[in-house]
Chain A
Amino acid sequence: MSENDKNTEIHTAQTNTEEQANAPKESTDQQAAQQTIAEAGAMPASATTAQEAEAAGRVADPQPTAPPVSSTQADGGARTVEDTPRSERDRTPAEKADAVKVQSDAEAAKAAGVEMTKVTVDGVEVEVPKGTLVIEACFRAGADVPYFCYHPRLTSIGACRMCLVSVELEMFGARRESIFTCCTVPVAEGMAIKTRTPEVKKAQNGMLEFLLANHPLDCPICDRGGECPLQNMTVAYGPPTSRFIEEKRHFPKAYPISDYVVLDRERCIQCMRCTRFCEEISGDGQLALLNRGSSTEIGTFFGHDFTSNFSGNTIEICPVGALLSRTYRFAARPWEISSSDSICSKCGNGCNVALQTRLGELVRVNGRTNEDVNEEWTCDRGKFGNYYVNDESRLKHPLMRRADGALHPASWDEALAAVAERITRTKAEFGADAIAGIGSTRCTVEDNYLFGKMLRALVGTNNLDHRMLPHGFEPMQTTIAEIEHFKTIVSVGMKLDWDQPIVYLRVFKAYSKKGANWIKADVVDNTVTEALRAGGADAVLLLPHHLPQDQIDRAKKLCASTGAKLNVLLPDCNSWGAARAGILPDRLPGLTAFREGRAHLDSFWKTPLPTASGLDSDGIFDAVSAGRVQMLYIMGSDPATRFHDTEKARRALEAAPFVVVQELFLTETAKRADIVLPAASFAEKDGTFFNIEGREQKIKQAMPVKGDARPDWRIVADLMGRLGTPVPYFSARDIYREYNRSIPKAEAVAAR
């Protein structure tokens, strides 16, 4: 069999993902594999006929279209495997829609005055903005080009030589075919790009043979197996067998390079995605290439830990199983995972993530693309910090403090009846204001809205807060994405890469790629003033919410005078949501001032609301200690450890005659409660988070609820029924709809 025939055979193979994943990799099985593939392919079309077809104006019978090889990583693996150019009618509806979109994109770009370049890819004409890389033009034209080192968010380096295409060029008076790496070259007017010439195929085949020569081929025990670009490319473009019979390069097998990341140097294909990520995106430069030539390996400086808050991203962009997650390692195979789109619960930036579970356990958190928020990155807090949802120590059933003074398991019915009874009794004996509620920056908008509604409309108190320290609410004056366009960026009093990771990535992008000035300060002092004065309207000031009010006021005045934008950044995944849901003593849903929103809510909730304004969290704890508040109802909050004055919070918790806590864990606060109600985590329920920008983002249930726990809104809804107002809520969506209507129109702040 000639080399060309072999190529053709594997290239024409119509495989699906499953087959790919299961394609035998061991050389002993390769004969068999070859046969299977040949059978599956069942198409004798040789490269020459394909060529001829192309030359003859693509009249050849269309080949059945291969299903797209699914891409399980953000950058995508192989796309479609096919041989002849496809005509319009071969396209699937989705592809046609795509083509229409590409077309309309092109028109929109042209209308916007973007200079366009016309090229053809395998005979298909596309118009792309001037300066577009050839590889991107190929994708736009629906052609497939294999690649490893190319990544749209990293600078192209042309290292792996996988993306070779052929172009006819006028050279020394003659037209010559020449092949080059299309990830490095911008399009030129009239370029006729060919992605499937025999030379290109031979080159692709050759590159894969090279890459696999020293590759351990331990796919059966590799986490990446099944979603590995190297596997995918090999099936689609590689040789069926290797001619490499020498001893492979060996390194000691995988070893941890940090608490989160394991490195297996044998599998590395030196694509430098990880090193470029560390240099260009996270800016911590932690990973580097060591040694040279065929001894090149990835490592850290002097073998110290891979210390970065963004190390997890390198695992995701590594096109092989060289960088692995210690938490996910051997936990699941990609095809056993179910994946749900959700939002990270670890900070207010609101990264779009995919929660991936196996057998009802969270096994992995991957980034999802959202150009407005996290692009495609996540931080390590999010990637490795969400596993608490699996924790065995999670509360699985209600607990009640019994006669012996200890917490004992109870049924939901018993626990809820006790809470309802106590609410009614306390209200009757001491008045509604003897009851106070603490809402949560980590529960959803729905949870908080219903919590607020119960306390205001049913109980009749305004003693409602969620803040763990007193602070105001300044909506961000820019979006996260806009930050990267500022020329002067001043950040105060934060460890930005840890506290606001995604904001940090934008700031670093502005600083490293766009030449912005980045000034870091501990307090709003003269340095800040000067920087802002110099920056004028092209400056943005980033403040943490916990700065003393006088500093925030000073910053506000300053920004107003210099034209700088002010962004006060909140800490938790739903800090904005708790506020917007109205969990504040003087604010109603939509952050409406109490006086202004009351009339609307009186009629909307069909109950007159309390008139006296309520106590904030400090006031509530003081009032408990003074005996004025008799009952504390705490949802998803742990003031005993998180309150700015934990002593005060603990004293109050101990002094309060009755404390109800909805929680995931037996926290310090829950330990001091009289009734503890087990709640579902963010991975076990639907709902809405508002990130620091106030962007409305949905979380989706990814796994079954642990034990007997229930979503917080469900618990509150139950209780409301028991308090005499049965509620018609069956889903978080119902509540969200009601929440939206509860905001007086005039006051409604459009959710970003």
Chain B
Amino acid sequence: MHEQHQILYKHRFVEGIKGIDVYRNHGGYEAFRKALTMTPEAIIDEVKLSGLRGRGGAGFPTHIKWASVPKNTDQEHYLIINADEGEPGTAKDRDLMNNLPHLLVEGCLIGMLAIRARKCYIYIRGEYAEPWQNVQRAINEAYRAGFIGKNVLGSGMDFDVYTHLGAGSYECGEESALISSLMGERGMPRLKAPSAPLYTVSGAWQKPTPVNNVETIATVVPIINMGGAEYAKIGYGSPRSRGTKLTSISGHVKKPGVYEITLGTPMREVIYDIAGGIRDGHTLKTYIPGGSSTGFMMPEPLDYPMDYEGVVTAGAMLGLGSGGLIVMDETTPIVPVTKRLVDFYHHESCGKCTPCREGLNWLAKIYDRILAGGGRPQDLDLIWDICDNVRGKSFCGLGEGAIVPVMTSIKYFRDEYMSYIKSGRDLVMV
């Protein structure tokens, strides 16, 4: 088995690491001190060397995002942290915020230095009351310890970190919708380049506001500590996927939980070694590699490297996603599972664009009908075509992601649909 590096989670299980004292005893805020001595460009260079890519789903290189923040302006910049984690199957940011809140806070401070921001907003999904408490407590402690506030560590710089609780919308995790929501507007995505300026140039309140995932920003701390080049050495797969990825593994495995997995570890090892394998007496039927939007995948091939590129070569419609591996054994009825996901996306669609708003509504109704025994043979083609009409045409990634589990379920589990359509019964749940 490949060695699993513990970079983010090095001190995850240390007693009291939530508190600032224990955190500092384990080297906490040293990276921030180091970063204070560096220029913003130097920080971004380290991040560039590390090869860090966004851990929120899109895998966009973080250094490019930061470097696109305009340099010589006198306007304020803000750093926004995306802690809206709403993707079904993904719960890694929650684990991180609950157990290592200071890692997040320290990451925010370094991120602010890198983009010359003095204020940081952490947008936490409304349901995350406990992570919010932990993060807020950590922020308060950091204020008291002088890492946030006026004239931090004698640097002459003032930093502020705020938390903002969402109101329960998955869509508000989409970065531009998050910006709208943060500004008190309706949580709908906004136009992006080339139709509008990059939000790293003109985002929230028309200020440069890069948005980073919780895990992405936390990863900056070890990168500064160990150096970007050192971090880039970690990983078994593609040269463009470096470091580790927090992954929440759920479903029919023996040891579900959140793991820090070195990128490039074969998927087989992830499921069978790290997560302990399928529960006894059962076999792997299908799995969703990185949150529901990445769709179903078949047990073969399984020996591909789990990283941004590997998942795609193995046939995933969307890449690595947000790190939510859902494993299902042969007892799982795919049609109801897909219906559950369709219902989720239908419920969470913001309603801005036609294909997502109407297409998902239509799909939800078709699934209701099929499950109620009213399926028709032509429904599968219809579902496929509806998905095709959404694909590449919806405004944001929600619609784009919603159809992936649907299309993959039809691709791989047609017979289960046909069973519903022919006899009104599930092939699996008899």
Q: Is the CB of B365 within 8 A of A296?
A: no
Q: Is the CB of B366 within 8 A of A246?
A: yes
Q: Is the CB of A294 within 8 A of B355?
A: no
Q: How far is the CA of A184 from the CA of B192 in the complex (A)?
A: 9
Known: A203-B393, A247-B365, A292-B169. A214 touches B358 (CB 8 A): yes
Q: Is the CB of A293 within 8 A of B350?
A: yes
Per-position 1/0 for A138-172, Cβ under 8 A of B: 00000000000000000011111110100000000
Tell yes or no: B128 within 8 A of A by CB.
Answer: no
Which residues 317-371 of B sit at the A interface, judged by CB distance below 8 A? 346-355, 357-362, 365-366, 369
Residue in B closest to A289 when the chains form the complex, CB atoms:
B186
Tell yes or no: A210 within 8 A of B by CB.
Answer: yes
| In the complex, chain A residues whose CB is within 8 Å of the CB of B348 | 293
Q: Is the CB of B195 within 8 A of A210?
A: no
Residue of A157, A184, A243, A292 with highest tally of chain B CB at under 10 A? A292
Q: Is the CB of B393 within 8 A of A207?
A: yes
| In the complex, chain A residues whose CB is within 8 Å of the CB of B389 | 202-203, 206-207, 209-210
| In the complex, chain B residues whose CB is within 8 Å of the CB of A72 | none
Q: Is the CB of B358 within 8 A of A210?
A: yes
Tell yes or no: B22 within 8 A of A by CB.
Answer: no
Q: Is the CB of A159 within 8 A of B361?
A: no
Interface size class on chain A is 35 or more
Q: Is the CB of A294 within 8 A of B395?
A: no
Q: Is the CB of B353 within 8 A of A160?
A: yes
Which residues 273-297 of A sit at the B interface, judged by CB distance below 8 A? 288-289, 291-296
Tell yes or no: B385 within 8 A of A by CB.
Answer: yes
Q: Is the CB of B358 within 8 A of A294?
A: yes
| In the complex, chain B residues whose CB is within 8 Å of the CB of A214 | 358, 361
Which listed residue, A158, A213, A249, A272, touches B191 by the CB 8 Å rule?
A158
Tell me the minimal C-beta distance from A604 to chain B in angstroms.
Answer: 61
Tell yes or no: A211 within 8 A of B by CB.
Answer: yes
Q: Is the CB of B361 within 8 A of A179?
A: no
Known: A211-B354, A246-B365, A293-B361. A164 touches B395 (CB 8 A): no
Tell yes or no: A707 within 8 A of B by CB.
Answer: no
Tell yes or no: B276 within 8 A of A by CB.
Answer: no
Which residues 95-141 of B sit at the A interface, judged by CB distance below 8 A? none
Q: How far is the CA of A645 from the CA of B229 in the complex (A)?
A: 88
Q: How far is the CA of A179 from the CA of B394 in the complex (A)?
A: 11
| In the complex, chain B residues whose CB is within 8 Å of the CB of A184 | 191, 195
Q: How far is the CA of A294 from the CA of B392 in the complex (A)?
A: 19
Q: Is the CB of A295 within 8 A of B351?
A: yes
| In the complex, chain A residues whose CB is within 8 Å of the CB of B388 | 202, 206
Tell yes or no: B154 within 8 A of A by CB.
Answer: no
Tell yes or no: B145 within 8 A of A by CB.
Answer: no
Q: How far is the CA of A630 from the CA of B365 in the complex (A)?
A: 82
| In the complex, chain A residues whose CB is within 8 Å of the CB of B395 | 158-159, 161
Q: Is the CB of A270 within 8 A of B351?
A: yes
Known: A156-B191, A161-B395, A210-B362. A294 touches B346 (CB 8 A): yes
Tell yes or no: A3 within 8 A of B by CB.
Answer: yes
Per-position 1/0 for B157-192, Cβ under 8 A of A: 000000000000101000000000000001100010
Per-position 1/0 for A295-309, Cβ under 8 A of B: 110000000000000
Residue in A closest to B169 when the chains form the complex, CB atoms:
A292
Per-position 1/0 for A202-221, Cβ under 8 A of B: 11001101110110000000
Tell yes or no: B153 within 8 A of A by CB.
Answer: no
Which listed residue, A159, A209, A291, touches B352 by the CB 8 Å rule?
A159
Tell me the minimal C-beta distance from B319 to chain A in angstroms.
Answer: 15
| In the complex, chain B residues whose CB is within 8 Å of the CB of A188 | 194
Q: Is the CB of A3 within 8 A of B385?
A: yes
Q: How far is the CA of A269 from the CA of B169 in the complex (A)?
A: 22
Tell me the minimal C-beta distance from B97 to chain A in angstroms.
Answer: 26
| In the complex, chain A residues whose CB is within 8 Å of the CB of B351 | 270, 289, 291-296
Tell yes or no: B382 within 8 A of A by CB.
Answer: yes
Residue of B349, B357, B359, B389 with highest tally of chain A CB at under 10 A? B357
Tell me the minimal C-beta distance from B351 to chain A in angstroms.
Answer: 3
Please classify the interface of chain B as helix (H, G, I), strand (E, B), loop, or mixed, using the class held by over half of its residues: helix
| In the complex, chain B residues whose CB is within 8 Å of the CB of A186 | 194-195
Please classify the interface of chain A as helix (H, G, I), strand (E, B), loop, or mixed, using the class held by over half of its residues: loop
| In the complex, chain B residues whose CB is within 8 Å of the CB of A159 | 352-354, 395
| In the complex, chain B residues whose CB is within 8 Å of the CB of A3 | 385
Q: How far is the CA of A525 from the CA of B187 in the complex (A)?
A: 44
Which residues 190-234 of A sit at the B interface, judged by CB distance below 8 A? 202-203, 206-207, 209-211, 213-214
Tell yes or no: A244 within 8 A of B by CB.
Answer: yes
Which listed residue, B169, B349, B354, touches A210 by the CB 8 Å rule?
B354
Q: Is the CB of A161 within 8 A of B393?
A: yes
| In the complex, chain B residues whose CB is within 8 Å of the CB of A243 | 382
Tell me the minimal C-beta distance from A126 to chain B in angstroms.
Answer: 19
Tell yes or no: A185 within 8 A of B by CB.
Answer: yes
Q: Is the CB of A293 within 8 A of B346?
A: yes
| In the complex, chain B residues whose CB is within 8 Å of the CB of A185 | 194-195
Tell me the minimal C-beta distance from A162 to chain B in angstroms.
Answer: 7
Q: How far is the CA of A156 from the CA of B352 in the complex (A)?
A: 13
Which listed residue, B169, B187, B350, B354, touches A160 by the CB 8 Å rule?
B354
Residue in B closest to A243 when the chains form the complex, CB atoms:
B382
Q: Is the CB of B186 within 8 A of A294?
A: no
| In the complex, chain B residues whose CB is within 8 Å of the CB of A179 | 392-393
Q: How far is the CA of A565 from the CA of B120 in the complex (A)?
A: 45
Q: Is the CB of B357 within 8 A of A270?
A: yes
Which listed residue, A157, A211, A213, A292, touches B350 by the CB 8 Å rule?
A292
Q: How far is the CA of A162 from the CA of B392 in the complex (A)?
A: 13
Q: Is the CB of A210 within 8 A of B369?
A: no
Q: How far is the CA of A295 from the CA of B347 in the complex (A)?
A: 9
Q: How far is the CA of A210 from the CA of B186 in the complex (A)?
A: 23
Q: How far is the CA of A213 from the CA of B389 in the complex (A)?
A: 13
Residue in B closest to A293 when the chains form the complex, CB atoms:
B349
Q: How far is the CA of A202 from the CA of B388 in the complex (A)?
A: 10
Per-position 1/0 for A680-709, Cβ under 8 A of B: 000000000000000000000000000000
Q: Is the CB of A206 within 8 A of B393?
A: yes
| In the complex, chain B residues whose CB is within 8 Å of the CB of A156 | 191, 195
Tell me the minimal C-beta distance from B214 to chain A in angstroms.
Answer: 24
Q: How far is the CA of A247 from the CA of B374 in the complex (A)?
A: 13
Known: A3-B385, A210-B362. A162 touches B349 (CB 8 A): no
Tell me the minimal C-beta distance from B109 to chain A in angstroms.
Answer: 34
| In the complex, chain B residues whose CB is within 8 Å of the CB of A206 | 355, 385, 388-389, 393
Residue in A closest to B392 when the chains form the complex, CB atoms:
A179
Tell me the minimal C-beta distance from A161 to chain B in angstroms.
Answer: 5
Q: Is the CB of B360 within 8 A of A162?
A: no
Tell me the minimal C-beta distance from B357 to chain A in angstroms.
Answer: 5
| In the complex, chain B residues whose CB is within 8 Å of the CB of A157 | 191, 352
Residue in B closest to A148 when the chains form the complex, CB atoms:
B354
| In the complex, chain B residues whose CB is within 8 Å of the CB of A270 | 351-352, 354, 357
Known: A161-B353, A186-B194, A270-B351. A294 touches B361 (CB 8 A): yes
Tell me the minimal C-beta distance from B265 to chain A in angstroms.
Answer: 27
Tell me the minimal C-beta distance from A4 to chain B in angstroms.
Answer: 12
Which listed residue, A162, A244, A246, A247, touches B354 by the CB 8 Å rule?
A162
Q: How far is the CA of A247 from the CA of B361 in the complex (A)?
A: 11
25 contacts between A and B (CB under 8 A): A157-B352, A158-B195, A158-B353, A159-B395, A161-B355, A179-B392, A186-B194, A188-B194, A203-B389, A206-B388, A206-B389, A207-B354, A207-B393, A209-B389, A210-B358, A213-B362, A246-B362, A247-B365, A270-B351, A292-B169, A292-B187, A292-B351, A293-B361, A294-B351, A294-B358
A185-B194, A243-B382, A294-B358 known; 18 new pairs, CB 8 Å cut-off, are A3-B385, A161-B393, A202-B388, A206-B385, A206-B388, A206-B389, A207-B393, A210-B362, A210-B389, A213-B358, A213-B362, A214-B361, A249-B361, A293-B348, A293-B357, A293-B360, A294-B357, A294-B360
**The 9 nearest A-B residue pairs measured at CB:** A206-B389, A296-B351, A294-B361, A210-B358, A246-B365, A293-B349, A184-B195, A293-B351, A292-B351
Which B residues fall within an 8 A CB radius of A?
169, 171, 186-187, 191, 194-195, 346-355, 357-362, 365-366, 369, 382, 385, 388-389, 392-395
